[in-house]
Structure 1
Amino acid sequence: MMKTVYTENAPQAIGPYSQAVKAGTFLFLSGQIPVNPATNEVVEKDIVVQTKQVMNNIKAILDKESLTLDRIVKTTIFVTDMNQFATVNEIYGNFLGDHRPARSTVEVSRLPKDVLIEIEVVAYIGNI
């Protein structure tokens, strides 16, 4: 059984997709970009500010399903400049604490709304 997930505390989808889809014991979050849900605008073009906003957007979607960041099992990070990897890694790590999900990081030439970062997530919603 599948169910779409929506919260006003994360950015609205900018295309024909859902913020997240619950399928069985997993929650699949669409790639989150650094849009402030209160203003529906991209935040400052700074990798620190943008990474924090993306992680807060992910947290908001997980919160909607009463999940925490430690339920994340896999992330894929897309960045437009791999030279920013150390900064992204530090902020990402600060949000996750000791939790270490599987992860891929890829440099891409361009992202929606010309943002610097996008992160997609898979979270486990079953019993641990």
Structure 2
Amino acid sequence: MSRKNILSGSPWEDKMGYCRAVRIGNVIEVAGTVAIVDGEKVKANDAYAQTDNIIERIAKVLEEAGASLNDVIRTRIFTTDIIYFDDIARAHGAYFKDIKPATGIYEISKLVAPDYLVEIEFTAIIQ
């Protein structure tokens, strides 16, 4: 089976030696992704906007890999404070209400920078 690496252009991809997503056969794994916190549309204290930004961007990554959000079978959500559960769930539900992938949400002590409240990993299988 062939391997397709999907890069996002992040400088961390070369520094860390990773890519945003990998497709092998009909399976796509998407690396943990945080929001682009711009201080306007996506603020450091807005878990809903961060979750929305992540999923919106990953939809484009999946498209580049030949898939869509409809092909997502699992999401793993990491948050620095479970108090944001309702906001994260509302944003996740806006995209996945009818798709209903298996998911988990986990409170962790930190993400790579203090502005990030949410990080999400995705697994998709193309049928």
* TM-score bracket, shorter-length normalisation: 0.7 to 0.9
- CA distance change for structure 1 residues 82 and 99 in 2, over 3 Å: closer, same or farther? same
Partner deviation per Cα, 1:14-62 (whole Å, 9 max, x = no partner):
23210101122200000110026xx8xxx41111221111111211101
- CA distance change for structure 1 residues 13 and 21 in 2, over 3 Å: closer, same or farther? farther
Deviation at 1:6, TM superposition (A): 2.5
**Alignment match, 2:64:** 64
Structure 1 residue identity aligned to 2:96: L
**Alignment match, 1:104:** 104
Unaligned runs of 5+ residues in structure 2 are none
Unaligned runs of 5+ residues in structure 1 are none
**Alignment match, 1:2:** 3
Deviation at 1:13, TM superposition (A): 5.6
The percentage of counterpart residues that share the same residue type is 27
Deviation at 1:96, TM superposition (A): 1.6
Q: Given the two structures, how large is their TM-score scaled by the length of structure 1? A: 0.83
Q: How many residues align?
A: 118
Query: Equivalences for 1:86-101 in 2 at 5 Å?
Result: 86-101=86-101
Q: Please give the alpha-carbon distance, in whole angstroms, between the structure 2 residues aligned to 1:87 and 1:69.
A: 20
**What is the RMSD of the two structures over their aligned residues, measured on CA atoms?**
1.7
Query: Equivalences for 1:76-87 in 2 at 5 Å?
Result: 76-87=76-87
Q: Does structure 1 conserve the Cα–Cα contact (< 8 Å) formed by 2:23 and 2:65?
A: no
Partner deviation per Cα, 1:84-116 (whole Å, 9 max, x = no partner):
111100110001231111111110000112210
SS at match of 1:120: strand
1:120 aligns with 2:126: no
**Alignment match, 2:23:** 22
Structure 1 residue identity aligned to 2:43: E
Q: Please give the alpha-carbon distance, in whole angstroms, between the structure 2 residues aligned to 1:6 and 1:33.
A: 15
